[in-house]
Amino acid sequence: MNKMCVIGAGSWGSALALSLYNNKHKVYMWTRDIEQVEEINKTRENSKFLPEVIFPKDLIVSNDLKEVIEDSEIIVLAVPSQAIRSVCKQIKPFVGDNQILVDVAKGLERGTGLRLSDVVKEELPNNPYVVLSGPSHAEEVSRLMPTTLVSACENIEYAQRVQEAFMSPYLRVYTNPDIIGVELGGALKNIIAFGAGMCDGLGYGDNTKAALMTRGIVEIGRLGVAMGANANTFTGLSGIGDLIVTCTSMHSRNRRAGILMGQGKSLQETLDEVEMVVEGITATEVAYKVSRDLKIDMPITKAIYSVLYEGANPNEAVQNLMTRSKKHEMEEVVNNGLFK
């Protein structure tokens, strides 16, 4: 029995802690919130983030970082993307060089535009780093519904060790050496999912969503290739797969937030109602600025940015997208290298 730990007790961190436990690992989960620690330890339920899912009594929940991290083979970083740097600083005194860091957050760092792997490498440069991503809702994973993920690392041996830790009859994990593509697929799909929700809130139909998702994956691939990713990664689980699940499910907080803004709510009203981190909002800001700096055309991202940060009307933003200059679909795809 190997010790594993999960830093963060939100819905996804909780679901992954349960997945590791079900694979017969000794699992510790950390949260800074002492009330959450007390609630889970008393009721064996994480009522805010994963209601009606029972935690086994020997899955340890604690707010003591040293207790949680010490001797853990794998450290899962399951905190919001904008908290990754501060959490890495917090855990640094307790982390040994041989411990594998597994990031499951999906985002880009505000202010620097860095991928999360670069953020972690700046703070914990000596540790193996793996991204675990793909089309996955915590609510379904915690209830043992069949799900597939991707374990990505430049050193495939570490990707395989994480694959082995999580694989089960209910959770199938593939490996991929393209850490850039897997990270960016997970981060950028949240932007498109927010847009899909906005279209739902405006009352548009399936045609609109299909167009948004199809053009969205091209846009994701365009920026991804410019940042060093393998274009083929975006046709896989962390690209199209994650895009589909996030754009179509009410489990998706990005889609739910988009729906609310499409219905006319303000950004603050939307955040107050969702009550959880909406990664697509920050990702839109960062990706728009990165694409502008790299001179990469991302019209959907630009339109969503205009709604979120420039006060544009969602309906007008859609109309602006629809009335742009004429394009040749396949010539554009080939010229940008996607799906070659």
Q: 276 with 219, same domain?
A: yes
324 or 216: whose pLDDT is higher? 216
pLDDT tens-digit series, residues 245-268: 999 998 899 999 999 999 999 999
Predicted confidence (pLDDT) per residue in 140-150, tens digit: 999 999 999 99
The CA–CA distances, whole Å, from 199 to 6, 262, 279, 313 equal: 35, 6, 18, 12
Q: How many domains does the chain have?
A: 2
Mean pLDDT of all residues in 213-237: 96
CA proximity to 22, closest of 51, 43, 1, 49: 1
Contact present, 183 and 113 (Cβ < 8 Å): no
| Structural contact between residues 303 and 315, judged by C-beta atoms closer than 8 angstroms | no
Quick check: is 257 in a domain?
Answer: yes
269 and 248 in one domain? yes
Is residue 155 one of the residues assigned to a domain? yes
Residue at a domain's end among 147, 177, 207 = 177
Give the residue-averaged pLDDT of 24-50: 95
Residue 246 is assigned to a structural domain of this protein: yes
Q: Are residues 110 and 187 in the same domain?
A: no
- For residues 13 and 160, state if they share a domain: yes
pLDDT given for residue 340 in this prediction? 41
> Does 102 score more than 60 pLDDT?
yes
Question: Within this chain, do residues 84 and 169 fall inside the same structural domain, yes or no?
Answer: yes
Q: Any idea what the Cα angle at residue 116 is, between residues 100 and 227, rounded to 5°?
A: 120
Span 224-242, average pLDDT: 96
Is 338's pLDDT higher than 60?
A: no
List the catalytic residues: 189
- Residues 321, 172 share a domain: no
Dihedral sign computed on CA atoms, order 233, 289, 210, 324: negative
Same domain for 42 and 148?
yes
What mean pLDDT value characterizes the chain? 94
- Give the CATH number, domain containing residue 103: 3.40.50.720
Asked if residue 240 and residue 307 are part of one domain, the reply reads yes
Within a domain: 9? yes
Percent of the chain with pLDDT over 90: 91
Please, which pLDDT band fits residue 339 given cuts at 50, 70 and 90? Answer: very low
Residue 77 lies in a domain: yes
Question: Where does the pLDDT of residue 332 fall: very low under 50, low under 70, confident under 90, or very high at 90 and above?
Answer: low
Looking at the predicted structure, is the pLDDT value of residue 53 above 90?
yes
Residues 234 and 137 in one domain: no
217 & 244 share domain: yes
Distance of CA 179 to the CA centre of its chain: 13
C-alpha dist (Å) from residue 72 to 55, 75, 103, 209, 215: 20, 7, 15, 43, 42
Query: Does 38 fall in a domain?
Result: yes
State the Cα–Cα distance between residues 220 and 175, nearest whole angstrom. Answer: 21
Residue % of the chain over a pLDDT of 70: 97
Same domain, 124 and 193: no
C-beta neighbour count of 227 within 10 angstroms: 18
Residue 340 lies in a domain: no
The model carries a pTM of 0.93
Same domain flag for 164 and 292: no
Residue 35 lies inside a defined structural domain of this protein: yes
Provide the β-strand partners of residue 149. Answer: 173
- Mean pLDDT in residue range 185-198: 96
pLDDT level of residue 336 (50, 70, 90 thresholds): low
Give yes or no for a contact between 165 and 153, defined as CB atoms under 8 angstroms apart.
Answer: no
Domain harbouring 321, CATH code? 1.10.1040.10
Tell me the residue range of the domain where 326 lies.
181-335
Mean pLDDT of 299-319: 94
Q: What are phi and psi of 191, to 5 degrees?
A: -65, -50
CA distances for 181 relative to 126, 162, 185, 300, angstroms: 22, 18, 6, 19
